[in-house]
Amino acid sequence: MLVFKFGGASVKDAKGITNLANVVDQYKDNQLLIVVSAMGKTTNALEALTKAYVDGSEHVHSLFEDIKQYHYIIMAELFEATHPVFDEVANTFVEIDWMIEEEPHDDYDFIYDQIVSIGELVSTRIAAAYLNKSGLKTQWLDVRGYIHTDNTYREGTVLWDKTRESISKNVPALLQKGFVITQGFLGGTSENFTTTLGREGSDYTASIFASCLGAESVTTWKDVPGVLNADPKYFEDTVKFDVLSYNEAIEMTYYGATVIHPKTIKPLQNANIPLLVKPFGDPTAQGTVIGGNVNPVFEKPVIILKQNQVLLSLSPKDYSFITENHLSDIFGRFAANNVKVNTMQTSALSFSICIDHKEESFGKLIAVFDDAYKVRYNTGLTLITVRHYGETTLKYLSRGKTVLLEQVSRNTAQVVLK
């Protein structure tokens, strides 16, 4: 059996949904599980709606109206007005109506997951209805009963044993009856609340299903020809890799290449399942095959750009040197606050780390260190990671900028630039 994943860009409009059906139609003789993300930028819009609701902003209703309209316009292009999908989608959106009528719960991350998850619940209803309308028999599956997570809202940790048991017990029989379509990015807790797996987590969903079902391969359909040596949104003259090893792909995504979610590859590597990255606009193109130990000759370096970074420098308030005890204490505090360290450097008197700048929680994070450390920070920075680098590439990428931190190992160089 095969697993396909269609991301937000691939289903951003009615044409995207018809294209999805055309792609799937070419695989109609296969058992196929299809994972779909929220349409276009819906997750961002639902994030803004969540913030407006919690802040008590008057804009909450207009933001919600815009999200509904966006979906209803797409549906009007795909279905006749009496099609039952309109009721299904309305019944899904109504969950947000109920939530925003109440006072917000005091756990922001919990509210976030209950609201933001509606994007995938709606997109999969629309895609399933369209596939069925096109004669491709498809069953809609609520992923929250299959991918079980703990209660870490916005970053649910998958409970693998329970998940494997649910998926392998029920999904194979469904796949024998037709295609199965389900939501990327979501999970469910033991109390039946919705969790999310971290932004852009739908690739990971595809990999979880593939691992539990022993799939032949996972194909993730993207708006690029495959994995390139750099993000074409920022760099010209990129080259596509025909093949990449699991390890190289893990390194790239770990350092922030957004083409694939970083958690996706390990479960596939463990089960030896290849990951194909293909363009949704050209389904017969070869794309990139990630698998095994094969790597191309890296004629061009791999460049990964992370914007909106903050560089934090922590110095013990007692003016002592940075010791192993300090490092253990600092990392404990980061781990407790779910902070991901993008790069770091230690000197005698301070410890510097570069992290994503999350404005809503940054003040809280600084306060976590206030009792024992003097904290200094710079915001608005860029972190560039170059794999298989040469000196000229590093110089070229840093031109006209101030280098605040540099970290170089045999294969990987990182610079934090202002």
Ligand X SMILES: N[C@@H](CC(=O)OP(=O)(O)O)C(=O)O
Ligand Y SMILES: Nc1ncnc2c1ncn2[C@@H]1O[C@H](COP(=O)(O)OP(=O)(O)O)[C@@H](O)[C@H]1O
Chosen residue from 57, 258, 378, 398 binding ligand Y by CB under 6 A: 258
Strand extents, DSSP E, 232-359: 243-244, 275-279, 288-290, 302-316, 343-346, 351-356
What element of type H or E holds 387? strand 373-387
SS3 122: helix
- Look up residue 40 and give its two tokens: 């276009």
Contact between 274 and ligand X by CB under 6 A: the answer reads no
Contact between 47 and ligand Y by CB under 6 A: the answer reads no
How many residues touch ligand Y (CB under 6 A)? 18
Task: Count Cα neighbours of 213 within 13 Å in the Cβ-side half-sphere.
Answer: 28
Between the CA atoms of 179, 183, 184 and 189, what dihedral angle is there, to the nearest 10 degrees? Answer: -130
Contact between 251 and ligand Y by CB under 6 A: the answer reads no
Looking at the Cβ atoms of 244 and 273, the one nearer to ligand Y is 244
Query: Which of 131-139, 200-208, 272-280, 390-398 is the region at the interface with ligand X (rule: CB under 6 A)?
Result: 200-208
Looking at the Cβ atoms of 158 and 228, the one nearer to ligand Y is 228
Looking at the Cβ atoms of 38 and 60, the one nearer to ligand Y is 38
How many residues touch ligand X (CB under 6 A)? 12
CA angle at residue 122 from 278 to 53, to 5 degrees?
Answer: 115
Contact between 243 and ligand Y by CB under 6 A: the answer reads no
Query: Which of 24-32, 142-150, 220-228, 385-393 is the region at the interface with ligand Y (rule: CB under 6 A)?
Result: 220-228
How far apart CA 86 and CA 82 sit, in angstroms, is: 8
- Under the phi-then-psi rule, with left for phi > 0, alpha for psi from -120 to 50, and beta for the rest, what region is 308? left
Contact between 120 and ligand Y by CB under 6 A: the answer reads no
How far apart CA 6 and CA 27 sit, in angstroms, is: 15
Minimum gap (Å) between residue 208 Cβ and ligand Y: 16
Answer with the entry of ligand Y, ligand X, none that 228 interacts with (C-beta below 5 to 8 A by kind): ligand Y
Q: Which of 401, 407, 396 is nearest to 381 (CA)?
A: 401
Chosen residue from 10, 50, 117, 245 binding ligand Y by CB under 6 A: 10
Chosen residue from 4, 19, 34, 37 binding ligand X by CB under 6 A: 37
Minimum gap (Å) between residue 40 Cβ and ligand Y: 9
How far apart CA 64 and CA 374 sit, in angstroms, is: 42
Q: Which of 308, 298, 300 is nearest to 342 (CA)?
A: 308
Looking at the Cβ atoms of 9 and 375, the one nearer to ligand Y is 9
SS3 414: strand
Contact between 301 and ligand X by CB under 6 A: the answer reads no
Chosen residue from 1, 7, 114, 215 binding ligand Y by CB under 6 A: 7
- The answer to whether 358 and 374 have CB atoms below 8 angstroms apart is no
Minimum gap (Å) between residue 15 Cβ and ligand X: 16
State the residues that interact with ligand X by CB under 6 A: 7-8, 37-38, 43, 119, 184-185, 199-202
State the residues that interact with ligand Y by CB under 6 A: 7-10, 37, 200, 222-224, 227-228, 230-233, 257-259
